[in-house]
Structure 1
């Protein structure tokens, strides 16, 4: 019998011991005025940013998690606002870290600057593309010309041998452009397309995100794209649920539209995918989503050294200038509670997918003030997916422990 493929990936090491990824906000300085900015970035650098030496110590702390070391991403603001960026990338590389940089689409993002990152040892860069047209992207970023700078940097980075990740924030205004952005990702090439689902924090409080039904439609569209474009989600952990559901339905030969009651956003986006020829190939191995979330495989360090479970979750658990990152991550109550699915409340606490998904703790906190509250952007009714036996098999194939209700009536 052919072994069933994994539909969700787990880390090979215990997430309670070390994170998969550490993101450091090197600065909040940035000349852009992005409408959704988590950091509410400002034009000038904060004098209380970590110094070069303190940043070097932070990277030593990251390396102390052991082998394999967490991925280390330098973000902002705009990291190129720090004149020591190349020095920092080189230092991280010398410590054995896989360093990536997430620059802004500004005039600092030149081919020469990207070559400097590569020569210092950077593995990859992530660039933001939030709309399929220059007019709409520049409007979202608050400055004219950002789309052109980003497209040029994308080509330059690829030619220089840097891996490129494209980040796209989904809003109600731009959701219909997702298929056209996917076409650009396929055409220009990227190691990964990361689709961000808006968390109402920072300047993002004023941007209209998707409701739960619209989010469900988009997650299913991203699943449809999975054999064409390498796609992941950020702050939409229920994509892991969707992947499991869709895999079970596909093995049973059941159409997802009816079974999951997908709505008009899915129908519109699916029609556009078909028009662009994106949903039918070329086929590539589907990338199962990785089971990582705030405080559970993920840690964020602010420009001032404060440690958070996520950049979208403004709850500090410590400070790397006075505490060790390893201790903060492994032992502080905020982090250990976030790794405990029994802490979840509402529908998340009652959901059979709670140990796989867990919902966005950042969005729950932003909307309700309770980090353990149910996920506001998820409309799934716990226990409503009927194929419990199939689901248990899919979870087991992915190395996950089933946490399922009794089988629903009618399942064979």
Structure 2
């Protein structure tokens, strides 16, 4: 069962809450946003604090709660947290690292506890490129095995792929690989230079545009859903391509971006617009996450399409796209600046009022 999104008012509640339950992780990925560590942070939310947060999130009722990390499976109470969240009616997704520990985890027990979806990362279309990216050998084969295990356990499977300058050339191979894997959703993530990710790994805007055009065509041919993360201008491309064909995009995009339909809670309880936009608006130890999402000036500004600057502010697609606020912040130090990986020149000459 996938949650229904049409009823979600993005000013009232986030569509997706990402909760980094721990920073502990056995991998050392090149682009790690969390700069994950081998051991948990001493100030990580305790079991009691985590349960209290689940109560607050249950009141907020986001359509999906993603337990991420680090590696969420490294948290000893992960099954209890899943059970608590699922018991309160939350749709729980798990985003683990493909480690030996994961393959020894009972996927049926995870499903029974309430994990409805699992997302796994594939960042190289071949074993050599993926393992080099993830910093640990055998990660590729473990990811393929974990994907099979998730499907066998009856979970909805999402494959996440990061597009960088180095992996652009493998895009067609990725498509073939994902077709073989038959996930429920393929999410193509456009690099944000934060954490361990470097500026020089960002692809050129024109190359990204070409990939989005391909992705738009593929979205009509494959059995799984296709979406992007921090690549919001894919929605513009899909719309333009559909109009040119006289058809509709393969699926209706929810116009989320950092702080607009997205909220992130860090391992120490910090409330942020997303895991890639490290500006803190409060802490769950002292603040109610729903209240922060609805009323904090940071979130209000991020949801204001007319507060966007540069060509994003002039763009006729800004309400469905709005560019990556994380990348604007990472590249220009201004979260409302234009998205440097979109080459589109808007038709509008000035702001709409």
**TM-score relative to the length of structure 2:** 0.94
Please say if 1:19 is aligned against 2:45.
Answer: no
Contact kept, 8 Å, 1:31 with 1:43, in 2: the verdict is yes
SS in 2 for 1:24: strand
Please say if 1:345 is aligned against 2:309.
Answer: yes
In structure 1, the partner of 2:238 is 243
Unpaired runs of 5+ residues, structure 1, are 1-8, 253-284, 385-402, 406-412
SS in 1 for 2:198: helix
In structure 2, the partner of 1:140 is 133
For the aligned residue pairs, the C-alpha RMSD in angstroms reads 2.0
Contact kept, 8 Å, 1:125 with 1:165, in 2: the verdict is yes
Deviations, residues 273-323 of structure 1 (Å, cap 9, x unaligned): xxxxxxxxxxxx922322111111110000000011010000001101101
Deviations, residues 115-160 of structure 1 (Å, cap 9, x unaligned): 2211101101100011111111000000001011111111111111
SS in 1 for 2:245: helix
* Higher-Rg member (1/2): 1
Deviations, residues 333-370 of structure 1 (Å, cap 9, x unaligned): 00001111111111111111112211000000000011
Contact kept, 8 Å, 2:116 with 2:155, in 1: the verdict is yes
In structure 2, the partner of 1:101 is 94
Please say if 1:191 is aligned against 2:184.
Answer: yes
Aligned mate of 1:228, from 199, 221, 244? 221
Please say if 1:124 is aligned against 2:103.
Answer: no
In structure 2, the partner of 1:152 is 145
Contact kept, 8 Å, 2:306 with 2:352, in 1: the verdict is no
Q: 1:302 to 1:224 in 2, by over 3 A?
A: same
Distance (whole Å) between structure 2 residues aligned to residue 10 and residue 61 of structure 1: 20
In structure 2, the partner of 1:335 is 299
SS in 1 for 2:252: coil
Unpaired runs of 5+ residues, structure 2, are none
Distance (whole Å) between structure 2 residues aligned to residue 111 and residue 177 of structure 1: 30
Please say if 1:87 is aligned against 2:73.
Answer: no
Please say if 1:46 is aligned against 2:41.
Answer: yes
Large movers: runs of 4+ above 4 Å: none
Distance (whole Å) between structure 1 residues aligned to residue 210 and residue 70 of structure 2: 31
